[in-house]
Amino acid sequence: MAISEWLVSEQPRQKLYDQGPSALSDAELLAVIFGSGTKGRSAVDVGRRLLERFGTIGNFLTADREECLEQLGIGPVRLLVLQAALELARRQYFDQLQVGPVRPDTETANRYRQMRLRDLPYEVFCCLHLDARHRLITFDELFRGTIDHAHVHVGEVARQVLLRNSASVIFAHNHPSGVPAPSNADIEITQRLRRALRELDVQVVDHVVVGDGECVSLAKRGLI
């Protein structure tokens, strides 16, 4: 059944207008972005099929481009629109981080890290550079790796810290397995970075491991 034949109050756009975005399911939000469905399928049906196939929209957007475009109702324009919507959400959280001092384990900081890192199929090691008042200078993606490892080069991290004129830093990386428990290697590289940056009078505030829906702070575990 076409969405135009639904009760007006149940149509995704009207529901969004009346009740706000939190009242819509993921498939309904996708339908609003898509605007229309395909022959024989509503925009909500297209959204549901995507979620059934990939589990989450994040999994879909980080999948191989050709695999994404093979899905019914998805063409290059819709894929680009979805990617743009996700990037806007990331930038919203980044903007919030730029207001006042950055506290390493706040909800805003964790949401931003999750949006940047959670759904990636490979490890990425990142750094939030902070000034003397703990205000955000920038967020750098420093190293990419395989599904379970990213090679972190201490000298390159030190170079970037000097380039950004950082007073302190917060490191973050993801575990594609979804399990955010820090490994022995995570703890070891954190200690090496901490020792190296101490020589530059730069504080390592935290190292956060991003998993599926959860972030683990090494500082909170007493590992920094």
Higher pLDDT residue, 209 or 224?
209
Q: To the nearest whole number, what is the mean pLDDT of the chain?
A: 88
Please give the single-letter amino acid code of residue 59.
N
- Quick one: pLDDT at residue 99? 67
Task: Point out the domain boundary residue: 60, 90, 120.
Answer: 90
Residue 121 lies in a domain: yes
Give, in order, the Cα–Cα distances in Å from 224 to each of 142, 159, 210, 211: 20, 21, 17, 20
Is there a single domain that holds both residue 81 and residue 133? no
Mean pLDDT, residues 97-108 taken together: 68
Could you tell me which of 198, 196, 146 has the C-alpha nearest to residue 174? Answer: 146
pLDDT over 80 at 1, yes or no: no
Which pLDDT tens digit goes with each residue over 178-194?
Answer: 899 999 999 999 999 99
Q: Is the C-alpha dihedral spanning 156, 198, 148, 216 positive or negative?
A: negative
Residues 6+ apart with CB under 8 A from 19: none
- Tally of structural domains, the chain: 2
Residue 3 lies in a domain: no
Helix 26-34 × helix 12-19 angle, to 10°? 110
Q: What's the CA gap between 86 and 76, in Å, rounded?
A: 16
Could you tell me which of 23, 72, 67, 24 has the C-alpha nearest to residue 46? Answer: 72
Mean pLDDT, residues 204-222 taken together: 91
Is there a single domain that holds both residue 130 and residue 182? yes
Is there a single domain that holds both residue 82 and residue 108? no
Mean pLDDT, residues 9-24 taken together: 91
Is there a single domain that holds both residue 156 and residue 200? yes
Q: Which two tokens stand for residue 72?
A: 């019914």
Is there a single domain that holds both residue 156 and residue 52? no
Is there a single domain that holds both residue 83 and residue 116? no
Q: Are strands 136-144 and 215-217 parallel, antiparallel or unpaired?
A: unpaired
Only one residue has tokens 């998805």, namely 74
Task: Point out the domain boundary residue: 29, 57, 90.
Answer: 90
- Quick one: pLDDT at residue 3? 85
Q: At residue 91, what are phi and psi to the nearest 5 degrees? A: -70, -30
Is there a single domain that holds both residue 60 and residue 154? no
Q: Which two tokens stand for residue 109?
A: 């900081």
Residue 199 lies in a domain: yes
CB 117 within 8 Å of CB 173: yes
Where in the sequence is the domain holding 159, given as residue range(s)? 102-217
Is there a single domain that holds both residue 132 and residue 185? yes
pLDDT over 90 at 160, yes or no: yes
- Quick one: pLDDT at residue 105? 64
Which pLDDT tens digit goes with each residue over 38-54?
Answer: 888 899 999 999 999 99
